[in-house]
Amino acid sequence: MPSVRQHRLASLGYKIFGLCALGLAIIGAFLPVMPTVPFLLVAAWAFERGSPRLDAWLRHHPTFGPLLRDWRERGAIPLYAKLIAVVSMAASLALMWFGGAPLLVVLAVGAILIAVSAYLLSRPSA
């Protein structure tokens, strides 16, 4: 059974991890090459385990709260987020291809991006 000290240390680790993910999500809100939603989901996951106060704050945040509630309740992703993600992945793959990346790398990355795109598009839209 974990001691109180181990529990506090784990909570601190989750808080730090969540704050880092939240910081990356905020950066992603302003930089088009950086995703926002995946980092936001990671932050919510970490706060849920490490800080009820930060978890509640994030769930009730006017900007981020609705995205998280849609994801938790229905596994839904906003249509605009899906569109931006798929277009960004296609543009990244095109840049790799035209930038002269080795064919094997382009094919491997392309397969991964197709799988991620299929998953995103299979989710309900918020």
Span 27-64, pLDDT tens digits = 988 887 777 878 888 999 999 999 999 999 999 999 88
What is the chain's Cα-based Rg? 17
Prediction pTM value:
0.71
Q: What does each C-alpha distance from 73 to 54, 65, 69, 126 come to in angstroms?
A: 19, 12, 6, 11
Cβ-based neighbour number of residue 46 at 10 Å: 23
The whole-angstrom separation of Cα 110 and Cα 104 is 10
Mean model confidence pLDDT for the chain: 90
Question: For 59-83, what is each residue's pLDDT tens digit?
Answer: 999 988 888 888 889 989 889 888 8
